[in-house]
Amino acid sequence: MKRIALYGYGNYGKKASESFRFFWGDEYSVTAVFDQALSGQIDPYWTIQVLAPEKLYEEFRRGIFESVMVCIYDRDTKMGISEWLEDMGVPVFYPGKEEDFASAEQFHQDEAPKISIHENRYSFHVYKNMLGAVADYNWRMMFLFNEEGKVCVDHYKKYMPYFKPYLLSYPFRLKDPVPEKVYMKGEYCLMAKMYSTNYWHFTVEIADGVYLMEAVGYTGKYIYNETDYSRLLMSLLGVSEDRLISIRDLDHHKVYVFETLYDINHDGMHSMECSETVLPKMADVIKKTLKKDAGSPRKLFIKRIGQRKLLNGEDIAVQNGFQVIIPEKYSVMEQMNRFYNADIVISPHGANSTNYLYMQKGAVFAEIFSDVWYDHFGLSNSKICEACGIHPLQLIGKACSSSKAAMRADYTVDEDAFLQLILEAEKILTRADEGV
């Protein structure tokens, strides 16, 4: 039996420890657990004490374990710890292997599905008797696999190879899984995917697929990450509550066998490219549920809280007639309606900027980015704005940090450039009013 250690004893580490007990109890044993903040606790599944990380190398030299699985949520921290272990000569453990993954075509497909989708840049598969396990504790995803021990990579490939270490970290047995099997009769569509606990990602990577499924008459159930916004979007797209299954309600000690399972993915997400054809149509469906309000402010400045805040520009916005709102103080529906009734919205990039989809044609959406957090998001959002008939403007500021964590750093913008952004937005509206 191979002996492994776990580094990290938060939500991920605790569930990984538990799953090794259930899924791999006859092949692996967890013989050490390390966590700085939680050292001294007792792991109830292996009855061992959580140790401080500085004791890791000593325990490894003593032969207490052979390798370490890093159970950390944050990607940069996870990679940093893995590099630290490798520098010390301590092997990093991944339950999965490269050869475990297979393309969708290698799995048993429904030869006569009730529905089909042929949309540019979307992959669509209908599996028969596919197995699923809720074994990604960071993102609350379900891994799909078959009795031969192959994992379907199509459900995750949009983030490969960037997220390969995550995909190789599933602590469940592929071949002859030990836990109880639960047979799911009927039709299911899997929408619990990486990042779907984020409003922007759920909207552009999940809701678009739901729109397509509903448009072709799908009547089965959806497995999804349940949040206030995901419930709302599902409802606005016509999905009743009795068709929703929260992945939180599925037991990670069990393997689910789906009679019929639908899986739809947009293939551009590895570079954060969203659908310029589907998202505007989806937004039109949702905008029919929004209300015009003559008393709602026409010029909005979105104030971001938490990390990656824009530190200046608010005073200039107020001086030019913008109302400052903090989206977290409003319900998601209220946020949608605010954007829907605005002529100009200035917003730092983030999940809250998603609501530009619900602005009316001819409006102006100005998005502000940090110079270390622009990447593909700016181009994608700009293209979708144009497809929705919304005028996109962008401004890139300067991050307040040059460290590896700069992508989370607050940032500032040149105030003269910010004022010019406002003037340009107002010119666009004036030209539209004049019919130019």
Q: What is the pLDDT of residues 103-130, one digit of tens each?
A: 888 899 998 899 999 998 898 999 999 9
283 occurs within a structural domain:
no
Residue 157 has pLDDT above 60, yes or no: no
Q: Last residue of a domain, which of 276, 308, 339?
A: 276
Residue 271 near residue 376, CB atoms below 8 Å: yes
pLDDT higher than threshold 80 for residue 219 = yes
Give the C-alpha separation, 96 to 16, whole Å: 13
Structure-block tokens of residue 143: 């891994």
pLDDT band at 435 (very low <50, low <70, confident <90, very high): low
Give pLDDT tens digits for 267-276: 766 566 788 9
pTM reported for the whole predicted model: 0.89
**Of 159-163, 204-208, 254-258, 416-420, minimum mean pLDDT range:** 159-163
Output the pLDDT for position 300: 98
Q: What is the pLDDT of residue 143?
A: 84
Are 208 and 252 members of one domain?
A: yes
Tens digits of per-residue pLDDT, 290-305?
999 999 999 999 999 8
Q: What is the pLDDT of residue 39?
A: 93
168-218: per-residue pLDDT in tens?
A: 776 666 677 667 889 999 999 999 887 788 899 899 989 999 999 999 999
Residues 154 and 33 in one domain: no
Q: List the 299-302 sheet strands across, edge first.
A: 323-325, 299-302, 344-348, 364-370, 391-399, 411-412
Based on the fold, state whether residues 116 and 256 are members of the same structural domain: yes
- Select from 227, 231, 218, 226 the least CA-distant residue to 262: 218
> Do residues 81 and 106 both lie within one domain?
no
First-residue to last-residue Cα distance in the chain:
75
Work out the percent of the chain whose per-residue pLDDT is above 90: 61
Cα R_g (the chain), whole angstroms = 24
Looking at the fold, whether 233 and 351 belong to one and the same domain comes out as: no
Domain for residue 285, yes or no? no
Domain that holds residue 48: 2-93
CA-angle at 353, arms to 347 and 354, nearest 5°: 165
Is the pLDDT at 138 greater than 90? The verdict is: no
Q: Are residues 130 and 158 in the same domain?
A: yes
Same-domain pairing of 184 and 246 = yes
How many structural domains compose the chain? 3
Domain end marker among 93, 116, 142: 93
How confident is the prediction for the chain on average, in pLDDT? 89
Residues 272 and 308 in one domain: no
Q: Which domain-ending residue is among 57, 78, 93?
A: 93
Q: Tell me the residue type at 133.
A: A
Do 103 and 87 fall within a single domain? no
Answer whether residue 432 shows pLDDT above 60: yes
Q: Are residues 270 and 379 in the same domain?
A: no
Q: Is residue 117 part of a domain?
A: yes
Q: Is position 281 within any domain? A: no
Q: Which has the higher per-residue pLDDT, 148 or 270? A: 148
Q: Is residue 263 within 8 Å of residue 154, measured between CB atoms?
A: yes
